[in-house]
Structures are given as C-alpha cells and as structure tokens.
Structure 1
Amino acid sequence: MTNYSSQQAVEADTGRTIASWMDVLSREAEKDWSHGQLVDYLTSVYEVGIEPAGRIADHYEEFKGNKPVGKTASAGAGYQVGVRRTYPVTAEAAWAFLTSPEGMKLWLGGLPALDFQPGQTFQSDEGISGEMRVVKPMQQLRLTWKKKDWDRPSTLQIRLIPTATGKLTISFHQENMADFYVRDEMKQYWENAAAVLQEKLG
C-alpha cells in the first residue's frame, strides 16, 4: 500500500505536485545527471529548499527506473532505512527507557507492558503489530513490525552500541518495506523517535 506523505510534503513545501516536478525534470534534466546535480538544479533554478529538492530527486530517480535510495540489492528484500544517534547514557539506562511504556510509545505505540521474550506477539493502541524474534538485554532487539494498513510486515532491529568515549549509540534499522514512500515515511518516524530520545536521555 503506497504512502503519500513524501508527495504531500513536497507539494506543501514547493506548491507543485510530484507529478508536476516529474514533468519539469523530464523536460529539463539531462539523462546522465546524478542525484546531486538534480538537487543543485532544483535549488538554483527553482529555488527549492534542500530537503524537498532531495525528495524530488529521489522520486525522479525512481520515476526513471533507477535504483532509488534505500532499495535493497537482494531481489524481494524491499526497502530499508537506518537512523542512529549517540547519547550520553549507559546501555542499562537506555534499555530501561526503551522497554518502559513511555519509551515503547516511540517505536511501538501505546502498550501497557511487554515481557520482551522471543516469540512474544504484540499489537499497540495505534495498530502496530509484530513478533519479537531476538531479545538481547542492553544490546539488541529484532522483531517484525507492521502498521495496520500495510500489506506485509517489515523487520526492525534496535541496537545499543557503546562508544569508546563512554556514550551510547542507539541504532534503528528497518528493512523489507514495500516501497520508497513507506521508506520515506519511516525515515521521518525514526528521526522523530531519535529526537525525542535526545530530549529524554540528554
């Protein structure tokens, strides 16, 4: 099921639909332009902001049939996205927060509690459902993760990685997503989650 959040964001930022931008680039862009050249053209000629220009370029590359950003090379593996941030916190403190009801709201939605055992299934108040596959306390979670309007589940992995400076990197990596639009939606989702973690964990 296609998610149109990226297209709506482009239209809100630029006043043009994605279809209109595809027409523009089809007429004006050179066939061998790279992603960066497309972005440069949009920002300089049409004064589009960097972020919407990047989105338009991504859509145009997919429109042309090129392998878009986030497309997994393996056949049938779908799209993937990764977001990671580093925080001044211990693995124990981060794990305690991520597995609390407050923390789970960031990546699962509203749930009273989970035992965090392999094989445990869940469905949040927001309709996110799945099954825990790998649970390594203070290190890693791997699970299936599906929104209620998706045709198939994705795979989500959360890793807690200590750094040499005593901080902790928290990594969200999601794969097997249906299309570019879902990937774009989930990239924003995990970036928002990482930003909230910054507020909560320092």
Structure 2
Amino acid sequence: MPTGLTKGAGWEIGVSRTLPLPHTAVWDFLTGDEGVGLWLGPGAHLPEERGRPYETADGIRGELRSRRPGDRVRLTYDGTTVQAAVTAAGPGKSVLRFHQERLSSAAEREERRVYWRAVMERVTKALLPDGS
C-alpha cells in the first residue's frame, strides 16, 4: 500500500513540530480566534460543542466532531476530517500536530502536505515572532 493510503480513511497527511513553549500556551493560541484563523481559515470561530457548525471567510464549512480541551480538536473540513493536537514534550516544550484524512488521491495528499507545512510556518511565526 502506498505511503499515506489507509484502508478505511483514504489518503491522509500529517505534519508536526516541537515548539519551545509550554503546552498550555500553544493550546490557547491554537484554539483562540487568531490561531484558528491561521490553521482553519480566516473568519472561522472554533465551536465549543460537538456537532456545531463553522464556516471560514473562504466558504469552507464543517462541524466540530470532538474537542478535548488541552489536547485535541477534530472536525470536518470540506469533505475531509482534520485534527489539531498539542501534547507536552518536556519542561517548556510541546508538540503541535495537524492531521487530515479522507483525502481523495495522492495528488490531493501532496497539496495538503504543502498547505499544512505552510500553516505550521505561520503558526510558528505567530507564536515565536523572534524566531526562538
């Protein structure tokens, strides 16, 4: 089976980065309006309750599937499923992960890889403006 192809969820892609910031700082940014705008899309507001809808300024619509405060959020995104997660990685460090599944093809997987890498750069620059 090719890399990125699953039996049950089609094609998938994930990106992660260890950040020199406490878990709570990354989580609070990720789920706040500024952070949500960077990874989910401009104008989006992350719902608090399962099943609640969201919409970006670009017209992407979806709904919250699950939200575990301080851990992860899972939602539908334009026919796919996206998960954003933050885990502690030692004192003052955390790992930020984005994962998207139910992609239609290897080509879409590659497009989303480019997208999520760019998202990770934007989030990192917002969290670490001095580049530390």
Q: Normalised by the size of structure 1, how large is the TM-score?
A: 0.59
How many angstroms does 1:112 deviate by?
A: 5.7
| Structure with more of its chain in strand, by fraction | 2
Q: Which residue of 2 aligns with 1:188?
A: 114
Describe the SS at the equivalent of 2:121: helix
Residue number in structure 2 paired with 1:157: 83
Is structure 2 residue 4 aligned with structure 1 residue 70?
A: yes
Structure 1: distance between partners of 2:88 and 2:65? 22
Count of aligned positions: 128
Alignment of 1:89-108 (within 5 A): 89-108=21-40
> Runs ≥4 in structure 1, deviation > 6 angstroms?
none
Query: What percent identity do the matched residue pairs reach?
Result: 35
What SS does the aligned partner of 1:172 have? strand
Question: Which structure is higher in helix share?
Answer: 1
Partner of 1:137: 69
Task: Write the deviation string for residues 20-39 of structure 1: whole angstroms up to 9, x where unpaired.
Answer: xxxxxxxxxxxxxxxxxxxx
Q: Calculate the TM-score normalised by the size of structure 2.
A: 0.87
Higher relative contact order (CA 8 A, sep 6+): 2
* Greater Rg by CA: 1
User: Which deviates the most, 101-110 or 169-178?
Assistant: 101-110
Distance verdict in 2 for CA 1:81–1:116, change over 3 Å: same
- 1:172-183 matches, cutoff 5 A: 172-183=98-109
Runs of at least 5 residues in structure 1 that lack an aligned partner in the other structure? 1-66, 147-152
